[in-house]
Structure 1
Amino acid sequence: MKSENKSNRCAIKRTLLCAAAAAMLVSPMSAFAQAYPARAIRLVTEFIGGSGGDALLRLVMEPVGESMGQPIIVDSRPGAGGLVAGELVARADPDGYTWLGGAPNIHTVRPWVTRTNPFDTQKQLTPITTVAEPYLAVIAHTSVPARNMKELIEHARRNPGKVAFATSGIGSTFHLDAELIQMLAGIKMVHVPYKALQQAIGDVVSGVIPVSFTLAGQAKGFVNAGKLKAIAIVGEERYSEWPGVAPISETVKGFEAPAAWTGLFGPAKLPRALVLRIYKEITISLANPAVKGKLSAIGIQPRGMTPEAFAANIKSQQALIGKIVKSAGIKPVD
């Protein structure tokens, strides 16, 4: 009996020692994640202050900051198509106090349109989640003889190389959308790159250029006032403001729009516990009816992906955009 009791005590002792050892390994990060955040969080963005991207991030992050008990300070660092902001965050400590909010360009487009691409976002950043995705649209001047995508394609086919379209620049999501349509529909249009979407919209309103690929939210007022036509929605879902305007994919077989999300990233080696904590907070904010309503009012749909789905989306989008760039003959620049 004594031998049996001694054996039981030894077994219990070994169990306690193992549990203590495991606690020593797990508890530091667990405790850190529970205590996080202990100070303000810096959200570095590629968007100019007051822009649509800046506005949507502030809308989503306000309840996140309230929930986490610390302010989220938006630090606008525009430049080089998002590269300035991306490199800044990549150099930050992976402690959860520096986030990156931005568009797909440096993650999915830049690798194909620059000859030198030393910044590898898949190695130097950690995908956390998508935040939102704007409704993109094709708009036209009221004089254009087309009411929908089918009629616009027919118009372009009758006038090869004569129908011009505006975008926010070479290699932009809007440009890639237009190139994919031309490739699939077998038409040829003329690309006119602009530095700002608002300028392009203004020129379509005044008749300087007939067509533009743009943000539905920015064009909404002109369309609703009868100064522009809404020809098509670029994504899969119809825009609630224009329920009669069909997605391009309903007309152009095989059309898959390149992603236009705004995503959230951290530096490389951001601990998994922090990635999941941040993802959870963003998900809660995106489900908030007030946030959803405000985003909808500016033409944006909440769009949250898990960290794994987001990472997979970036890879698949890179492949899709590579095909479009090569087919369109877009040449990389220095």
Structure 2
Amino acid sequence: MSSYCLRSTLKASLFAALCIGAPVTALAQAFPVKPVRIVTQFAPGSGGDLAVRIAAAFMGDNLGQPVVVENRAGGGGMVAAESVARSAADGYTLLAATPATQVMRVFMANTSFDPVKDFQPITLISQSMAAIIAHPSFPAGNMAELVAYAKKNPGKISYGTSGVGSEHHISAEQISLLAGISMVHVPYKSGFQAMNDVISGQMPISFSITGPVLGPARAGKLKIIAVVSDQRYARLPDIGTVLDGVPRFVPVRGWTGLFAPAGLPQPVLRRLAADTIKGITSADGRAKLFEAGFDVVGNTPEEFTLMLRNQIELVGKILKSTGMKLSEQ
């Protein structure tokens, strides 16, 4: 091959390579050129919805574009997750999700998406502590009393959760199996709705994140039976844990995380992660999320991915050791 032909071939190859990389580079440099949408499973006005909206406001400030929150409650988070899984991986449609879709669905049949392969973790916004709450008239006041009462009334106690396959659901089923009790699961579109039914007396007990229940508990509208943990919670130092009545219980911590459809270009992923983390870990961001009842995390995509892998492994061990099976009920 002549030196001229060689030079021509090299130039053509270089030009082709630059052209291939150009769309990704241009996308990263331009992003975002329009509003970003976060689809969430939380009902409007719920505690989880508040956490997402706080994070979205800081994201918007840092991205220089509005970040709009779209509530698509229902199906234990499936409605929201399915819509985002089918969206373009361009950074403009994101998912604010919980273990209900990104962990529990790994172990459930009839799931239209792969929780691991179809999503790109961006950052863990916050973690939340769960509690078992009850109407003030409910006979039990702590975990040991709840177990004793349930044993005397098998199949007569209904409990609410934020949906099938949620971390609250798996906690309740684990409690029932380990304690040898039988309770009736009533899944809601959101834990906020379940809490309101407890306050009104339509539901005797429910599992809820602690943030929204603190005010009603102080006002005497409901009582907190236990925190769903293996140690006491600093915000509720006088409240016992599930282990007080179910010693072998293994807690599954709740959280709210940000995801994109799989295939998101790395530069866009880095921009979304950096601007979200910058906002929620700022002094103002931490204060607002703490006031709403959440503990800020703000980890990297790699750290979030590892955390998800570890929690999936934990849930798998719980299911195997207890013989539990997650279903649509």
TM-score, structure 2 as length reference:
0.79
Do 1:165 and 1:211's aligned partners in 2 also have CA atoms closer than 8 Å?
yes
1:290 aligns with 2:284: yes
Pairwise CA distance, 1:45: 2.4
1:190 aligns with 2:183: yes
Unaligned 5+ segments in structure 2 are: 1-10
Pairwise CA distance, 1:322: 4.3
Q: C-alpha separation between the residues in 1 aligned to 2:159 and 2:73?
A: 25
Query: Residue 310 and residue 167 in structure 1: after superposition, are their counterparts in 2 closer, same or farther (change >3 A)?
Result: same
Which amino acid is 2:90 matched to? D
1:139 aligns with 2:133: yes
Do 1:176 and 1:325's aligned partners in 2 also have CA atoms closer than 8 Å?
no
Match of 2:5 in 1: none
Match of 1:265 in 2: 259
Query: Residue 41 and residue 209 in structure 1: after superposition, are their counterparts in 2 closer, same or farther (change >3 A)?
Result: closer
Q: C-alpha separation between the residues in 2 aligned to 1:73 and 1:207?
A: 35
Superposed CA deviations along residues 181-205 of structure 1, whole A, max 9, x for unmatched, are 2333x33031240425345334434
Q: Which of 78, 87, 105 pairs up with 1:92?
A: 87
Pairwise CA distance, 1:136: 1.2
Do 1:160 and 1:189's aligned partners in 2 also have CA atoms closer than 8 Å?
yes
Task: Say which SS state the counterpart of residue 117 (structure 2) adopts.
Answer: helix
Superposed CA deviations along residues 164-190 of structure 1, whole A, max 9, x for unmatched, are 433334433222111222333x33031
1:77 aligns with 2:77: no
Task: Say which SS state the counterpart of residue 123 (structure 1) adopts.
Answer: coil
Match of 1:278 in 2: 272
1:40 aligns with 2:39: no
Show the 5 A alignment for 1:1-334: 29=24, 32-114=27-109, 116-157=110-151, 160-184=154-178, 186-195=179-188, 196-205=190-199, 207-235=201-229, 239-249=233-243, 252-322=246-316, 324=318, 327=322, 329-330=324-325, 332-333=327-328
Unaligned 5+ segments in structure 1 are: 1-16
Do 2:105 and 2:115's aligned partners in 1 also have CA atoms closer than 8 Å?
no
Superposed CA deviations along residues 18-70 of structure 1, whole A, max 9, x for unmatched, are xx99x959887556434432332222223333333332211111121111211
Pairwise CA distance, 1:144: 4.2
Q: How much identity, in percent, do the aligned residues show?
A: 38
Query: Residue 309 and residue 256 in structure 1: after superposition, are their counterparts in 2 closer, same or farther (change >3 A)?
Result: farther
Match of 1:10 in 2: none
Which amino acid is 2:143 matched to? M
Q: C-alpha separation between the residues in 1 aligned to 2:93 and 2:149?
A: 49
Task: Say which SS state the counterpart of residue 222 (structure 1) adopts.
Answer: helix
Moved more, 220-229 or 46-55: 46-55
Which amino acid is 2:206 matched to? S
Do 1:160 and 1:187's aligned partners in 2 also have CA atoms closer than 8 Å?
no
Q: C-alpha separation between the residues in 1 aligned to 2:303 and 2:205?
A: 34
| Larger Rg computed on CA atoms | 1
Query: What is the count of residue pairs matched by the alignment?
Result: 313
Superposed CA deviations along residues 120-165 of structure 1, whole A, max 9, x for unmatched, are 1322221111112233111233344544334433444555555543
Which amino acid is 2:198 matched to? V
Task: Say which SS state the counterpart of residue 261 (structure 1) adopts.
Answer: strand
Do 1:176 and 1:324's aligned partners in 2 also have CA atoms closer than 8 Å?
no
Task: Say which SS state the counterpart of residue 238 (structure 2) adopts.
Answer: coil
